[in-house]
């Protein structure tokens, strides 16, 4: 898989997720098998670039290449300026957000709301591509709603504008994350396109990944919610695509250390106060469905310091390791060896 001059080690990409794909999470996913990880979206509003939030999102210290930064907005010139700014901060790929279904984004005519205005889409893409000398990619949905699916038209505009790759989530904006993703539109776009196409939506298992790659003929797949608390999904899928065989479930001691390292990265990146609060959701994702985790997650939300979080996390995983060598999940009241999680 290649995007412009950037060569990915495989076909597996971490989807941009606000509040999730920060630098610690991106680094972890790459370590555990992802070929690329796209950042949280960075606003095109230059007035926000000095904020701590934007500065953190533009911080790529020590990050493994390729470094892909997603920008969001609706004004072509502002997006071009944002692309240049992030390139100067170390971005090697600029991704433009035209897929976010959130109301606060669509209400300012950004994200997937842009799909309603193909003329503006063309202006944005042409302006941003011209503004930087690194690859520009685009993320979209299949359309605004089921009556207005225009992914094929947007793909044509993107290709003619010089966009180097297109990621498509298999839902419309109106669908948000409800129902099931559809892949027929992605397959149609792939068959009509010369640029790499990336399939996204409801990829939760190695088998699903293989099926979607075969059905759509996409060049790569993008995984979002299924990686929350389970970043090792990338090595599981990579191994399955290469061999047709499943890796054994991860050992409790390994994931214990993965989580501890992740927590320390979060504390260092955000500082004590914010780090503790951000860590809570990650701890919850890692442990959801694990035997005995409900009471642990409830207690974790009451803890106020990183030291307390580390101690209780160590205690929880030490108890798990005494019961099972490998991760064991609850399903309908029965303990099962881990195969797949509930992520989307």
pLDDT per position as a tens digit, 202-253? 999 999 999 999 999 999 999 999 999 999 999 999 999 999 999 999 999 9
- CATH number for 2-243 (one of 3.20.140.10, 3.40.50.2300, 3.20.20.70, 3.40.640.10): it is 3.20.20.70
User: How high is the pLDDT of residue 103?
Assistant: 67
pLDDT confidence of 276, banded at 50, 70, 90? Answer: very high
The CATH architecture one would assign to domain 252-330 is Orthogonal Bundle (1.10)
With CA atoms as reference, report the closest residue to 207 among 246, 248, 168.
246
Contact assessment for residue 163 and residue 195, using Cβ atoms and an 8 Å cutoff:
yes
Whole-number average pLDDT of the chain: 91
Does the annotation mark 100 as catalytic?
Answer: yes
The domain ranges of the chain are 2-243, 252-330
| Residue 145 CB contacts under 8 Å (≥ 6 apart), including other chains | 172, 173, 174, 175
Per the listing, tokens 């509040």 go with 19
Please give the biggest Cα pair distance in the chain: 61
d(CA 186, CA 190) in angstroms, rounded, equals 6
Mean pLDDT, range 80-84, rounded to an integer = 96
- What pairs with residue 37 in β-bridges? 14, 67
- Strand (E) positions, 17-150? 36-43, 67-72, 93-98, 136-141
Spot the catalytic one: 100, 106, 175, 340.
100
- What pairs with residue 69 in β-bridges? 94
């Amino acid at each position: 898989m290649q995007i412009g001059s950037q060569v990915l080690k495989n076909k597996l990409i971490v989807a941009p997720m606000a509040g999730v794909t920060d630098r610690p999470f991106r680094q972890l996913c790459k370590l555990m098998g992802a070929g690329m990880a796209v950042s949280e979206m960075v606003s095109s509003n230059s007035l926000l670039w000095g904020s701590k939030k934007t500065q953190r999102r533009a911080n790529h210290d020590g990050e493994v290449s390729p470094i892909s930064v997603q920008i969001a907005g609706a004004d072509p010139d502002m997006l071009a300026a944002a692309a240049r700014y992030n390139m100067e901060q170390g971005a090697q790929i600029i991704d433009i957000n035209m897929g976010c279904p959130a109301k606060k984004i669509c209400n300012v005519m950004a994200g997937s709301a842009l799909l309603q205005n193909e003329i503006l889409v063309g202006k944005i893409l042409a302006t941003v591509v011209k503004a930087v000398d690194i690859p520009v990619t685009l993320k979209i949905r299949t359309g605004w709603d089921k009556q207005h699916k225009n992914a094929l038209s947007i793909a044509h505009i993107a290709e003619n504008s010089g966009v180097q790759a297109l990621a498509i989530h298999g839902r419309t904006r109106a669908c948000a994350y409800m129902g099931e993703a559809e892949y027929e539109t992605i397959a149609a776009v792939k068959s009509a396109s010369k640029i790499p196409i990336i399939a996204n939506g409801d990829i939760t298992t190695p088998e699903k990944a293989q099926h979607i790659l075969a059905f759509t003929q996409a060049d790569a797949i993008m995984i979002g919610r299924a990686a929350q608390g389970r970043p090792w999904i990338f090595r599981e899928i990579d191994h399955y695509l290469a061999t047709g065989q499943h890796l054994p479930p991860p050992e409790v001691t390994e994931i214990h250390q993965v989580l501890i390292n992740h927590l320390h990265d979060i504390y260092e990146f955000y500082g004590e106060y914010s780090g503790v609060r951000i860590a809570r959701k990650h701890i919850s994702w890692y442990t959801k469905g694990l035997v005995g985790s409900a009471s642990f997650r409830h207690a974790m939300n009451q803890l106020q310091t990183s030291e307390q979080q580390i101690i209780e996390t160590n205690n929880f995983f030490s108890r798990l390791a005494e019961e099972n060598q490998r991760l064991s999940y609850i399903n309908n009241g029965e303990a099962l060896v881990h195969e797949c999680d509930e992520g989307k």
